[in-house]
Structure 1
Amino acid sequence: MDLLLLQSKFTITSLKILQINKTDAGGGAAVAANRLNRALRRNGVESKLLVQDQHRDEEGVYPVGTGFTYKQKAFVRFAWERLTFLPYERNASVRFAFSPANTGIDITQHPLVQEADVIHLHWVNQGFLSIETLGKLLSCGKPIVWTQHDMWSFTGGCHYAGTCLEFLEFCSYCPFLRKSGKKDLSAQIFAKKRKIYNEAPLSIVTCSKWLRTLSQESKLLRRKNFYNIPNPIDTELYAPRDKDVVRERLGLPKDKKLILFGAANVNDPRKGMRYFIEALNILAENFPVVKDNTELVVFGKANAETVKLFPFKTHSLKFISDPETLVDLYSSADIYVLPSLQDNLPNTVMESIACGTPVVGFSIGGVPEMISHQESGYLAEVKNSLSLATGIYETLFVSDINKLGVNARQKAVDCYSEEVVAQQYKAVYESVLK
């Protein structure tokens, strides 16, 4: 369906939209759901966000429940799902890459669900909604919009399928499972999803064209209505700041080129840490000017062992959640590097370009939709450390980096600003209610 035909500047202030996500903080889906809820509210939509785990006190965000007993039960559900998956997992590396969704809560009688005109799902795994309770929500008689933040909705349990294409027809012989076969756990989960999706009034939103293509081709969702809408970002907050001022504020050198890197789970092969380290070594060994004039800034979950592998002087800033500090951080850097091997529409790329900082990354997932090669950043060949090193070098020392930054910022304003994205979602909500 062509969303452009639906876009208009109408108001739907009388409608009640309920966003549903596991948590309001921690993880890309939580950030995206929160930002969308905020963007809609700022643009005249009565939107609320319902979460299992609330970590912040913010207007428009509500927990399913409160109190010690409620939180204890939520933890037990999470732990039970992980424990029951242990006999099936291929090894520890896939432990959180596969969600069997065999336990969860029924939220259909929650007052916010009852009053909503449209239910808008986001990321609902890890003990929040089971396939059974998801089915109850899908059959509650209200139109359902589901924004996909990964591939879980149309696979037999994995969040990213890698090179596996079993989801196109029927999941089985799953590479995530210890004992895979025609009737393995993925096949069982796939069959359960097919049953609850069959007659559900479900409309799918994908944040990237890459994920839309996969989702439309999948056996489970190919008959549903599809929309392609990116996540929003506050481009008034995420905007360029004076580089010298923010570097002084963060205690970073003013006379060096700074490469920014956000480390999530460094042990997850999908994050591409191996290729990033190899690329840095290529630069350090072959270009003395780079090593002498460049330093690395890392935020997130980079442990001491990982930092030792970087051949450049490294400033480790740990995990940062404060938006003001994040804007300072992106503005302080000359480039941001994203070595991920599979991703949807990364929030970190959006944040970086909104701050006018060019991104160097592999040409995977939704990243090519966010970066114009050598116009607003650099797209390297996938799993090619030399190509990634070339992108870092050219962007830092050859390209007109100021022009790249201006173009990157314009892309964020034109495509991802709150008003732009909110108008697209308004059109979707009106469409599903017709």
Structure 2
Amino acid sequence: MSNKKLHIVLLSYHDSNGGAGIAAGRLKVALESEGHRVDYLVREKASSSNSIKFGNGLVSWLKFIAERLFFLRFEKDKSIRFLFNPGIFGSDISKHPLIQQADILHLHWVNFGFLSVDDIASLTRSNKPIFWTLHDMWAFTGGCHHSGTCEHFQLSCGDCKFLKNPNPNDLSHRLWEAKKNGFKDKNLHIITCSDWLGNRAKQSSILGGHSIKTIPNAIDTAFFSPNTTDLGLDPNKNYVLFVAMRVNAPAKGFHLLKEALAYLDPKTTELLIVGGEMTEELPLKSHSFGQVTDPSKMRDIYAAADVFVTPSLEENLPNTIMEAMACGTACVGFEVGGIPEMVENQQTGYVARAFDPEDLAKGILWCLENQKAGEKARTRAIQLYDQKTVAQQHLAYYAQA
């Protein structure tokens, strides 16, 4: 690997709202720690971030609205509104000074009117290596972020279950054609956070011929650690933790966790919730922390929990599992996406049968009875996800280009 110090430009829609933006920000820190210059170009930024905002707020909002209005006449119903992105509206950033100066361009999640399919294609035609970390399936489908059981992305999309009038030449097929043509340049290199997503990408008709490598997201394992500040919880109770940006988002599976909680002892076990208030009655006493934006407080909550549960119906490589593991907390999740790659079943946590609340409860009980699982989880997080390890994997892949 060359010792040349690189100028790397990361691109993502938002720097801190959502797992992809957080992961890209952590990669910036990891690569800078190895001595490289890293600029982080985003459409939307948090006030405290050191990322660089592209465009003005009004234009960003209008492009987001245009993207949603375009899709409105095609969508099956409002429940799938943000599960499918056309990628029609965006901004040509190929002439931006940072793009012109960069040695490496590295895309993350660029939807919601940041980069269109044509904008991404324009970048791939530049005389620069382009890397793209996929956080879902959008890059190789006709517009959906997770296809579920649908395998149409292996051929040419069409007959899309997300659309009002599915047919062989529907919007998903036309968007598939645009990506097939736009993403064909061989200087586009793909990174997936999990082998599960990598295998899906390799099976796709759009990206199957590209270089595809699995590299996990990075985490600061010195910061995310078992050391905690007292949260005032009862030391004689067991605490089960659930975290989501929106607790009631159907794909996050809280309804399945609620069923699982009925199998636990309400005298000894309580629930911790991050992501919103619960108005419905639950089988266990719950403590809601609302939306937590302070990383130190989030670390303390992870460390205070006895087990972290992610009952999601679809996942790639959740930052939340990495964070909980690094804080010495055993994890439970369904056998979906990249979760089985992260959690060693009955070693660092428990991998439950997909969408089975009773087995999810069994996993929670196993973790509560096997306290050493948290220590093993911490060790595994350091081995797989530590910043230095992940940065060096990225740099080795950059060097191949």
Superposition TM-score, scaled by structure 2 size: 0.97
Does structure 1 conserve the Cα–Cα contact (< 8 Å) formed by 2:278 and 2:288?
A: no
How far apart, in 2, do the equivalents of 1:265 and 1:328 lie? 20
Map of 2:250 onto structure 1? 269
Map of 1:210 onto structure 2? 196
Report the secondary structure of 2:182's partner residue: helix
Map of 2:274 onto structure 1? 299
How far apart, in 1, do the equivalents of 2:218 and 2:173 lie? 35
Of 26, 39, 48, which residue of structure 2 is paired with 1:48? Answer: 39
Does structure 1 conserve the Cα–Cα contact (< 8 Å) formed by 2:186 and 2:210?
A: no
Report runs of 4+ in structure 1 exceeding 6 Å deviation.
none
AA partner of residue 430 (structure 1): A
AA partner of residue 63 (structure 1): K
Map of 2:384 onto structure 1? 415
Does structure 2 conserve the Cα–Cα contact (< 8 Å) formed by 1:93 and 1:268?
A: no
Map of 1:388 onto structure 2? 360
Q: Percent identity?
A: 41
How far apart, in 1, do the equivalents of 2:310 and 2:268 lie? 21
More off after superposition, 27-36 vs 257-266: 257-266
Taking only aligned residues, the RMSD between alpha carbons, in angstroms, comes to: 1.3
Q: Deviations over 1:159-196 (max 9, x none)?
A: 01111100011101101111110111100100000111
Does residue 184 in structure 1 map to residue 170 in structure 2? yes
Does residue 86 in structure 1 map to residue 69 in structure 2? no
Of 306, 330, 342, which residue of structure 2 is paired with 1:334? Answer: 306
Map of 1:106 onto structure 2? 92
Report the secondary structure of 2:395's partner residue: helix
Structure 1 residues 93, 266: closer, same or farther in 2, change over 3 A?
Answer: farther
Does structure 2 conserve the Cα–Cα contact (< 8 Å) formed by 1:206 and 1:212?
A: yes
Matches within 5 A, 1:32-431: 32-59=23-50, 61-65=51-55, 70-242=56-228, 246=229, 248=230, 250-283=231-264, 290-300=265-275, 302-305=276-279, 308-396=280-368, 398-399=369-370, 401=371, 403-431=372-400
How far apart, in 2, do the equivalents of 1:356 and 1:120 lie? 31
Does structure 2 conserve the Cα–Cα contact (< 8 Å) formed by 1:232 and 1:417?
A: yes
More helix by share: 1
Q: Deviations over 1:268-315 (max 9, x none)?
A: 3321122111111233xxxxxx21011111001x3433xx23211110
Q: Deviations over 1:313-369 (max 9, x none)?
A: 110001112111111110111010010121000000000000000001112111111
Structure 1 gaps, min length 5: 1-7, 284-289
- CA-CA distance at 1:58 after TM superposition: 3.8
AA partner of residue 297 (structure 1): L
Q: Deviations over 1:114-152 (max 9, x none)?
A: 000111010000010111212211212211101000000
AA partner of residue 113 (structure 2): G
Superposition TM-score, scaled by structure 1 size: 0.90
Does structure 2 conserve the Cα–Cα contact (< 8 Å) formed by 1:353 and 1:359?
A: yes
How far apart, in 2, do the equivalents of 1:330 and 1:219 lie? 40
AA partner of residue 379 (structure 2): Q
Structure 2 gaps, min length 5: none
- CA-CA distance at 1:200 after TM superposition: 4.5
Report the secondary structure of 1:427's partner residue: helix
How far apart, in 2, do the equivalents of 1:309 and 1:189 lie? 43
How far apart, in 2, do the equivalents of 1:11 and 1:337 lie? 42
Report the secondary structure of 2:126's partner residue: coil
Structure 1 residues 188, 368: closer, same or farther in 2, change over 3 A?
Answer: same
- CA-CA distance at 1:427 after TM superposition: 0.5
